[in-house]
Structure 1
Amino acid sequence: MKAAIFVEPGKMEIREVPKPTIQEPGDAIIRIVRTCVCGSDLWWYRGILHHDHNAQVGHEAIGIVESVGSSVKDIKSGDFVIAPFTHGCGKCAACKAGFDGNCPYYKVGSAEQYQAEFLRYPQADWALVKVPGKPQDYTSDMLNNFLTLADVMATGYHSARTAEVKEGDTVVVMGDGAVGLCGIISAKLRHAKRIIAMSKHPDRQKLAKEFGATDIVPERGDDAVKKVMELTDMGADAVLECVGTKLSIDTALKVARPGAVVGRVGIAQKPVMDTNDLFFNNTGLRGGIAAVTTYDKKILLDAVLSNQIDPGKVFTKEFDLEHIQEAYEAMDKREAIKSLIVISDK
């Protein structure tokens, strides 16, 4: 089969590799319909974080189940599924508590091979999310909506959930990438009254407004903090941190009103944090790996199917697998908010 390979920073290739096979009783083999490039992929693409060279990559996809292992009962060959980047078992304490992204029976990242024609998916029986019907039953836009539920929409929702966004809140969203934009959708879905998007890019500002942002703050650093304080009563009730840089995290903490919670889902680029600011402002800090399957099954899939949300609009450029290099370049150069990769729609 064909698969995307990370050669070295700045260089992707498509190579012929062995098609995956069932290795464990809980596995499923999925024929990929659509996949995409994630903002987190750019960290190793740019050489900022380590990734093994000459390795397969990708962690978001939708597809058709081709075969399943002997212990898989609820998922069957022919099912149309969302393949989350998480692989919860559905039985452990973490999964039962609604934090399947922290399931101890699967190491997140150990099967990041979704940018390919086929995928082996561990712990498939509970973690895969079945979509009614077949891909050909849906429009291209709706397929894009489903694809966001593999990661980016669920991660945006996780930032809102962990920040404890509730009806009537004023929310600040740090980051105007796909996760930040999905954070805006999530804040609106949880009935926030005011949503302040921190964005300096006109195309992303426009989409932020479409998704529910009531205010746009293009400033950065101290100027951004000053602007938010002018717009709010002592700061935001909840802050969604969807970037992970030192500046973004620092700003997030400063725009939180006393007693607010920061929901942090941006992959942190600073390993150490001074928690004194949290203490003296009574600020809560939560977040981490999204509970993708839990959110999809309980909230997000129904929200998509009922046309409450339209997160697939974060895909602003489309490629085929053969043009994987261009897909990464488009995001690296900010020519695309998120790069869609269409493999097959049948």
Structure 2
Amino acid sequence: MSKKVKAVVMPEQGKIEIREFPFPDHLEDGAMIVRPIMSGICGTDKHAFRGESVQYAGTEREIFGSYPVIPGHESVAVVVEITPKARREMEFYGEALSEGDRVVISPDIVCGYCYQCRHGFHYTWCENIESYGHMKCDAPPHLFGGWAEYMYIKPGSHVCKIPAEISDEIAVEGSFRSSK
């Protein structure tokens, strides 16, 4: 029997429920799985719950959210499984990653290939931006939010190792919104 993962899901506006998902049985090259220790509740989560799920509203880059999602984009987590490519490339400052490392996850994934990414525009202008806590969870590997027992971190994501002297409470407050 395959391992199950519990997660908080927003299936639609105004609803929250606990669902079970299969633990990912495959990691894409450059991906990893983490176990969230803490995950903040952001104003964005409150807005998504209310159905106000437009990010960057009023700009040319409005992104309209959809359901169902596993919320949680400000997370402190422990690396559980990691591919060799992610071990080398995913840490924001270039440090090697290992199982057991505590990390904060940059919530936004940019493609690096669109015109805006190639020409140094702010990350919010990426034509293919995705954000943890706002990606639909209705297809494998499902676990794209920190309000779950495990979280799937996609290739192209960035994390920062948390120094031992920084507590989980401080780290979750300082979860970053940055990208290379």
The question of a shared fold, defined as TM-score above 0.5 by the shorter chain, is answered with yes
Give the one of 69, 72, 86 matched to 1:55.
69
In 2, Cα distance between equivalents of 1:99 and 1:149:
20
In 1, Cα distance between equivalents of 2:145 and 2:101:
20
1:80-95 superposed matches below 5 A = 80-88=102-110, 94=117
Give the one of 23, 30, 34 matched to 2:34.
30
The 3 A distance-change label for structure 1 pair 21 and 89 is farther
* Runs of 5+ consecutive residues of structure 2 not aligned to the other structure: 54-63, 89-95, 137-143
1:101-120 superposed matches below 5 A = 101-102=124-125, 106-108=129-131, 109-110=134-135, 112-120=144-152
Match of 2:85 in 1: 71
State the Cα RMSD in Å.
3.2
The 3 A distance-change label for structure 1 pair 9 and 100 is closer
In 1, Cα distance between equivalents of 2:23 and 2:98:
19
Matched, 1:42 2:46: yes
* Runs of 5+ consecutive residues of structure 1 not aligned to the other structure: 155-289, 295-346
Aligned with 2:168: secondary structure? Answer: helix
1:1-346 superposed matches below 5 A = 1-49=5-53, 51-72=65-86, 73=88, 74-88=96-110, 94=117, 97=120, 99-102=122-125, 106-108=129-131, 109-110=134-135, 112-123=144-155, 127-133=158-164, 138=166, 142-150=167-175, 154=176, 290=177, 292-293=178-179
Contact 1:2 1:116 in 2 (8 A): yes
Q: CA deviation at 1:97?
A: 4.2
In 2, Cα distance between equivalents of 1:110 and 1:54:
8
Q: CA deviation at 1:89?
A: 6.9
In 1, Cα distance between equivalents of 2:79 and 2:99:
5
Greater helix proportion:
1
In 1, Cα distance between equivalents of 2:126 and 2:29:
18
In 1, Cα distance between equivalents of 2:97 and 2:127:
22
In 2, Cα distance between equivalents of 1:38 and 1:122:
21
Question: Aligned pairs, how many?
Answer: 148
The 3 A distance-change label for structure 1 pair 95 and 146 is farther
Q: CA deviation at 1:20?
A: 3.3
Contact 1:95 1:102 in 2 (8 A): no
Greater RCO structure (CA 8 Å; 6+ sep): 2
User: What is the percent sequence identity of the aligned residues?
Assistant: 24
Structure 1, residues 186-235: CA drift from partner, whole Å, max 9, x if none?
A: xxxxxxxxxxxxxxxxxxxxxxxxxxxxxxxxxxxxxxxxxxxxxxxxxx
Structure 1, residues 289-342: CA drift from partner, whole Å, max 9, x if none?
A: x5x245xxxxxxxxxxxxxxxxxxxxxxxxxxxxxxxxxxxxxxxxxxxxxxxx
Structure 1, residues 63-121: CA drift from partner, whole Å, max 9, x if none?
A: 11111124222322121111110135789973894844555665334374221111111
In 1, Cα distance between equivalents of 2:125 and 2:98:
25
